Amino acid sequence: MIKSATNVLKGDNFVFVYPELLQNKIIVRRGEVITSEILQKKDFEFRNINSKIQTLLRKTRDNIKFRGSIVSEIKTRGDFVKKIRDSINLNQNIRYRIEVVSLKDSKTADPIIVELNIIKLQS
């Protein structure tokens, strides 16, 4: 039995706790492409780009949760939205792939830190 230091109702001497043990395994490795998405010409509007990025980050979060991570959010680095918009504004007739890439090895309880890369695809 584990005694609780907080969240005990007045008059209760003990709180029953059922801990869950998880293996501390590597969820993502540094440089690993976790998820990716292809942008077509129809996706090049600002609103559509933001929607695609949000969907991609949600897919990434779901993917790392499926692998066993217990973190609830993904941390991003860099001003990737501006980088993507600038690249697309220059070349609107090219397809692109956006990749979510891990910046460090992360285990079960470690934060997941990623950056988004944009890659021009040959038509």
Please answer whether residues 104 and 31 qualify as being in contact, where contact means their C-beta atoms are separated by less than 8 angstroms: no
Question: The whole model's pTM is what?
Answer: 0.76
What's the structural domain count of the chain? 1
Please answer whether residues 87 and 49 qualify as being in contact, where contact means their C-beta atoms are separated by less than 8 angstroms: no
**Looking at the domain assignment, is residue 104 inside a domain?**
yes
Q: What is the pLDDT of residues 63-103, one digit of tens each?
A: 999 999 999 889 887 777 777 777 766 666 778 888 999 99
Q: What is the pLDDT of residues 24-54, one digit of tens each?
A: 899 999 999 999 998 887 777 767 778 888 8
Q: Name 50's Cβ contacts closer than 8 Å, sequence gap at least 6.
A: 81
**Looking at the domain assignment, is residue 45 inside a domain?**
yes
**Looking at the domain assignment, is residue 35 inside a domain?**
yes
